[in-house]
Structure 1
């Protein structure tokens, strides 16, 4: 961490000095005549000047910001020190008005250093609102932008997640669901999570919702993307303001249970520099309930019963700081450095009440278990990016290095007591103490090249290297009369994962059909070791030349416009899903003595062939996207459960494990087929109300045989989500600019190899009030209105039948206040220019 901070500080000082020594404005060579634009922003209806309208000027070829300001009270603006040899795009916006864009160029015949002034006259903005009685209706950009290859969700319009985390954001996005452990699913598959297009060591509950600008969903990625994205890609794009001057956002929130949040984001854009910094704090709590009801069987015949009810008090605290800068070396070269530092502190205290019943459901004995867990983690991420734009429009090359580092520690104390119904002791108390620590380092190096060839053709190619080093140490001790005995389930585990990749895609058009063909080649290697026992395991793909297909991942997209606002697309891709750390780590999780979990070091990657047919239609009041898809997964990674063997019980006897405990692990099934249809509609109902319903219907078939036991299963399931938005803009100051949002979701039961997952549903509500000329907002939201989100599963085998559910989060109420501020003429670097202290972009009044 220290070298990174030293590098950042040194870069900051060096570039600051360079900025103060500049002799010519950014967009003007030393010998070129300077350009100046003047004009006025007015209301198209009455020609009155608009105060504080935003005027921004971009270089047309590179889309680089060249200048800007807020208009004076009479609507006037002027932007100086421009290169007259460049072509610009001017963008004028004002609250309640439609955006106006225009292309601008100067008279290039000017000679010498005399300023070339261009008067744009009155630029008219048309009001977007109209009055219906006492209500003003304002056109709004929809929160969800639907495309053939991806969906883009605007997080700022998600009222239910304000003041929350990335998990809260995901719960309110169509096609996305979140399970009880906070795992995100896309169409019932585990997607790859990116932050700003790159792998991250951060979990979504460590990313503040207020820091997220948008979320991109890519259900069937092309060869350009990492092949380890069988379940698709969710790309979280963080906010990074590039407006001129000093701009910021501050928010504070509180709620129940135990919710406290705070966020401060600052951005300084001046000349060739854009500095940004963000600090965040998020704290929450809650008491969650879990239940388990089991029948223990022998060859299918019930022998006895077990019931368990558990309550868990949770505490979570996250701290994070993110800072960095963009340095625009010139019009075509940009350098960016970003540093993220985060820390999390967690506490979980659980009480378990256990009933052991005989065949007649009479109590044989009772158990009581307490578990006190404390854990911490630290995360940091450093990203260096360089991008060069060639003279040819759209042609570019970029290179970036992304380094993630994380550490964690974990301590748990467990006490088990047992008694007969009359209160006498059934067996001696047992105590277990667990301690663990881990370290993770991830390095990603990537180079991408884009070369357009005419209007419809484009070549994209690149190289990528990903290296992931992980070390985990876990020790478990049986505590008896003040002495400790180390248990066999202790382990010291480490691995290194490497993926080297190259890709190429070509986009073109033939006979009115657009196409993109791509091929990605990846060499992957996983080397794992159980240090204490010197046991090594892992995989390598491809192992030899004859297995080269294991390293190749093709993709093909075909698209055609079939009418106004209508497009169809057919696509195919081959992907890989590599087992993660927890799925392969042989560590035994004994937090629940009746339901223990363990990873499987023998797991192998799964390969998926994915086909999609898309139909997209846009019309005046909304849009519709229909998708039919099929996925075939060979070696599907799935969960497998069975009662522990006598040998396993003997090894764990001092860990207070029940003899009839169920051990869950992961195995490779033969294959899984999944057929599905997803329908998404975005529809305006009148001028103030819009709805976005999504329905995903699937039929799944799993074929698996483990230990001569047929685990095959098949069935139909459905997921549905409805988002409703209502916005009021009235003449009354109190009712003006209120927004309401409701999100409801439902997941039907779904088959798994040994049973089914139970249904789950929930409703989130949010409302927002804008005031102080839209600079401040008040948000109130309720997550899980009916406290109904819980993940249940029914398992049915020859040795047991179990109906259980767990939950991680509980219903919460949260209030958040947000304030935006800015000063376009703020200057960090000041220098004399013709006797005036002006920077490269003089946008002061």
Structure 2
């Protein structure tokens, strides 16, 4: 039923488009009898070489109402042809080709006799799109990283190392972005909001194939137009969707180790008023990841005992998805779009832990083995409908869309713990824990935006948004002792509802070389959680009363001054909010690791962020530079806090086989956290084929927090650097080496402070090589190595009065893969195999 409605809409509009499309039937005041030979034709050639230009876009418009009459891509020799031309009208021919300047021609049919018309435009020479800068000649191509004052745009097609991977692999290649071992993304050491096509998503990044992605946008300090919860910035993943006339597509397949098998197919069909798009993919990967924990337990400054743990986690993941939809161009000013996505997958995690328990003299007292096998699966789907209306006034438009995300999941695992003395005799009886669970979620989002220009240099924008989320989960845990099954307090059945309603307005104006944008957003948010078994309620409401109205207001201000042609400076400010998520609020205790437990804190309150940035950008011959100074002030900062479990908690968890000195990780509200930072990005070309992009991020962090009598305050300096280097061979001497590309990405993150210790340094390198071949480089083969030296891991050191712990974990391991992709297209493709009056390809004459 959920897919039936959008499919019914699609069928209705599709039939309507083909039955009544004025671009497929002549206007009522034009005689229906037409001479089939009426045509406009010609050939596109390169101005310098005289060779035909293949796959250039040629579109024909009727100048009466500026409606699209037909379109096509030129053939291999540069020929194009439009047949079934209706006389009595004037036409405008629009030509565009990658790497060439655009061209337009006006064509009149007044010379037609007896309704017959034929126009040979001859050879149309196109000029290469070249920009002359001093003594350097640069051909216009789309760079891997496009930088502007308010955002960075990363073009995924330029990322060789992500080919055949997932969105996680893409994120690893983007300056300012880091990914931990669980796939969590950070932007300048803060958690950003992840969008897909400008809207929130229930998908995780490892469920989005890299081949589905066109570009990734980074917005480090969003204005009032965006959600106030984007305290850590926004990462917007823009999926591919072609709109060229005819049939266009790309197919790719990847194989590799460990256990890598991936495939992708993307199709786009544009005909008349209908643009249909579809993409599907399959992603399979595996691997064995190692982890280690070294612990020293203390009492009043004296070491009591030691604990060592080594683990090996064998993983097997399989995801698949299909995304399809259409754009219906009702007329020149109204467009309706529908997008449907289905996705699902499953995963297996089998972990083996070897544990050693030593006394204060480091002599082994007993050891243990812990084995766990976990299984989980999910289905996550999304339906989105969008409407766009443009007004006669340039730049004035209204957009509205509705998004419905829905899905379910299941999980189960068995944990077996055995303990032995050094001589091999049993230390205590084995302990077994079984758990199983299921969940379902429904998210509904409505959003409308209106843009109204006020003359040439001013603009007013406003909009509203409503977001509703319902989530329900059942998770039951059973312990086995001497054959007796006991339901443990770890069982966690809960549900919650979350809703956020917002309205915003921004005004921007340009005065000479100075411009500004001022905005204000108001949001009301409410979270209601319920533990079903105990009827325990938790959550928050902001603002709870009118006297707290400031908690609902989020202003932003951007001031920009252009200095000459190539320099620009900007100062901006925004106030944001970070609301605790469900896992941070839920008092459930997670026991996947018997010595490192996790529990939410239902008393958590949202934190507010005051964010300031000073940006300077400069374009120079051969590249560009962006420098940023930033300061983020976080009152009530949501901070992780760790302590050993109490005797009461250990007694409650006895049958779960946890360690009596296990650490319980939770979250608290710190007094305040300040981050002072500087970020520098350079994109520089050395010659026509070599490009490097180094990024440096320097940060000093101070944390002020106190829990009861424990002072968690900490401060320290950290830095990170990333180097992206790309080289492409262009030579006429060797077909083998021509169009051969190389890319190397190296990343380093220094240790950085956390309230009770520090995170360990990280270093990794990715490398890829790609060969483009066939006509117009339609095909390519890529060989890539992720984590060349197998060093990517996530580690922490905790140093408190009661314990010292040095631990690291891994999620992904070094991988090798080879990928093949092929682009295809046919400009005269017809959905219903009709010979409609638009461009039909003509003859190769």
TM range (shorter): over 0.9
Distance 1:401 1:75 in 2: 43
Distance 1:476 1:113, change over 3 A: farther
Range with bigger deviation, 59-68 or 173-182: 59-68
- Matched with 1:92 is 96
- List per-residue Cα deviations over 1:414-462 (Å, max 9, x = no partner): 0001111111111111000111211111110001111112221111110
Distance 1:104 1:541, change over 3 A: farther
Distance 2:114 2:508 in 1: 45
- Matched with 2:560 is 559
Distance 1:150 1:505 in 2: 18
Q: Is 1:643 aligned with 2:644?
A: yes
Distance 1:414 1:666 in 2: 26
Distance 1:681 1:257 in 2: 35
Matches for 1:275-290 after TM superposition, within 5 Å: 275-290=276-291
Quick one: which of 750, 755, 758 aligns to 2:757? 755
Query: Which secondary structure state, in structure 1, belongs to the residue aligned with residue 17 of structure 2?
Result: helix
- Matched with 1:790 is 793
- List per-residue Cα deviations over 1:169-216 (Å, max 9, x = no partner): 100111110011100000111000000000100000000000000000
Does the CA-based 8 Å contact 1:137-1:728 persist in structure 2?
Answer: no
Distance 1:19 1:495, change over 3 A: same
Q: Is 1:771 aligned with 2:773?
A: yes
Distance 1:152 1:59, change over 3 A: farther
Distance 2:640 2:433 in 1: 27
Query: Which secondary structure state, in structure 2, belongs to the residue aligned with residue 172 of structure 1?
Result: coil
Q: Is 1:498 aligned with 2:499?
A: yes
Give the CA deviation at 1:485. 0.5
Aligned residues: 830
Distance 1:93 1:655, change over 3 A: same
Distance 1:66 1:414, change over 3 A: farther
Query: Which secondary structure state, in structure 2, belongs to the residue aligned with residue 735 of structure 1?
Result: coil
Distance 2:840 2:553 in 1: 53
Distance 1:375 1:61 in 2: 59
Two-structure CA RMSD over aligned residues (Å): 2.6
Distance 1:572 1:434, change over 3 A: same
Matches for 1:234-253 after TM superposition, within 5 Å: 234-253=235-254
Q: Is 1:742 aligned with 2:715?
A: no
- List per-residue Cα deviations over 1:702-728 (Å, max 9, x = no partner): 110012211000000001100000001
Distance 2:583 2:237 in 1: 23
Distance 2:458 2:759 in 1: 47
Query: Which secondary structure state, in structure 1, belongs to the residue aligned with residue 161 of structure 2?
Result: helix
- List per-residue Cα deviations over 1:127-149 (Å, max 9, x = no partner): 5799xxxxx99864210000000
Matches for 1:377-776 after TM superposition, within 5 Å: 377-510=378-511, 512-731=513-732, 732-773=734-775, 774-776=777-779
- Matched with 2:16 is 18
Does the CA-based 8 Å contact 1:255-1:814 persist in structure 2?
Answer: yes
Distance 2:672 2:842 in 1: 65
Matches for 1:805-816 after TM superposition, within 5 Å: 805-816=808-819
Distance 1:172 1:415, change over 3 A: same
Give the CA deviation at 1:78. 3.5
- Matched with 1:7 is 5
- Matched with 1:361 is 362
Does the CA-based 8 Å contact 1:61-1:393 persist in structure 2?
Answer: no
Which stretches of structure 1, 4 residues or more, deviate above 6 A after TM superposition? 32-36, 58-65, 82-87, 108-113, 115-119, 136-139
Give the CA deviation at 1:841. 5.0
- Matched with 2:822 is 819
Give the CA deviation at 1:52. 4.4
Query: Which secondary structure state, in structure 2, belongs to the residue aligned with residue 10 of structure 1?
Result: helix
Query: Which secondary structure state, in structure 1, belongs to the residue aligned with residue 173 of structure 2?
Result: coil
- Matched with 1:351 is 352
Distance 1:820 1:450, change over 3 A: same
Distance 2:286 2:469 in 1: 32
Query: Which secondary structure state, in structure 2, belongs to the residue aligned with residue 202 of structure 1?
Result: coil
Matches for 1:299-338 after TM superposition, within 5 Å: 299-338=300-339
Distance 1:373 1:73 in 2: 54
Does the CA-based 8 Å contact 1:727-1:739 persist in structure 2?
Answer: yes
Distance 1:241 1:129 in 2: 26
Distance 1:84 1:7, change over 3 A: farther
Does the CA-based 8 Å contact 2:103-2:126 persist in structure 1?
Answer: no
- List per-residue Cα deviations over 1:30-82 (Å, max 9, x = no partner): 43799976443122124444344443468999999764223245533234659
- List per-residue Cα deviations over 1:547-582 (Å, max 9, x = no partner): 111000011111111012111111000001111122
Distance 1:120 1:457 in 2: 42
Does the CA-based 8 Å contact 2:23-2:69 persist in structure 1?
Answer: no
Distance 1:305 1:265, change over 3 A: same
Does the CA-based 8 Å contact 1:197-1:235 persist in structure 2?
Answer: yes
Does the CA-based 8 Å contact 2:92-2:107 persist in structure 1?
Answer: no
Distance 1:706 1:463, change over 3 A: same
Does the CA-based 8 Å contact 1:62-1:389 persist in structure 2?
Answer: no
Distance 1:46 1:265, change over 3 A: closer
Does the CA-based 8 Å contact 2:337-2:386 persist in structure 1?
Answer: yes
| TM-score between both structures, scaled by the size of structure 1 | 0.94
Query: Which secondary structure state, in structure 1, belongs to the residue aligned with residue 655 of structure 2?
Result: helix
Query: Which secondary structure state, in structure 1, belongs to the residue aligned with residue 730 of structure 2?
Result: strand
Distance 2:378 2:360 in 1: 46
- List per-residue Cα deviations over 1:805-844 (Å, max 9, x = no partner): 011010000111111111111111355xxxxx32555454
Q: Is 1:801 aligned with 2:804?
A: yes
Give the CA deviation at 1:394. 1.2
Give the CA deviation at 1:89. 7.5
Does the CA-based 8 Å contact 2:87-2:115 persist in structure 1?
Answer: no
Give the CA deviation at 1:124. 2.3
Does the CA-based 8 Å contact 1:31-1:112 persist in structure 2?
Answer: no
Distance 1:23 1:470 in 2: 44
Distance 1:86 1:716 in 2: 67
Distance 2:568 2:63 in 1: 29
Give the CA deviation at 1:91. 3.6
Does the CA-based 8 Å contact 2:291-2:311 persist in structure 1?
Answer: yes
Q: Is 1:50 aligned with 2:53?
A: yes
Does the CA-based 8 Å contact 2:528-2:539 persist in structure 1?
Answer: yes
- Matched with 1:198 is 199
Does the CA-based 8 Å contact 1:144-1:152 persist in structure 2?
Answer: yes
Give the CA deviation at 1:102. 3.3
Distance 2:782 2:444 in 1: 39
Does the CA-based 8 Å contact 1:174-1:721 persist in structure 2?
Answer: yes
Distance 1:23 1:523, change over 3 A: closer
Matches for 1:161-310 after TM superposition, within 5 Å: 161-310=162-311
Distance 2:511 2:839 in 1: 46
Distance 1:670 1:27, change over 3 A: farther
Query: Which secondary structure state, in structure 1, belongs to the residue aligned with residue 142 of structure 2?
Result: coil
Distance 1:43 1:102, change over 3 A: closer
Query: Can you give the 5+ residue segments of structure 2 that lack an aligned partner in the other structure?
Result: 132-136
Give the CA deviation at 1:377. 0.9
Does the CA-based 8 Å contact 1:271-1:839 persist in structure 2?
Answer: no
- Matched with 2:134 is none
- List per-residue Cα deviations over 1:318-341 (Å, max 9, x = no partner): 011111111111111111111111
Range with bigger deviation, 386-395 or 801-810: 386-395
Distance 1:236 1:553 in 2: 25
| TM-score between both structures, scaled by the size of structure 2 | 0.94
Query: Which secondary structure state, in structure 2, belongs to the residue aligned with residue 786 of structure 1?
Result: coil
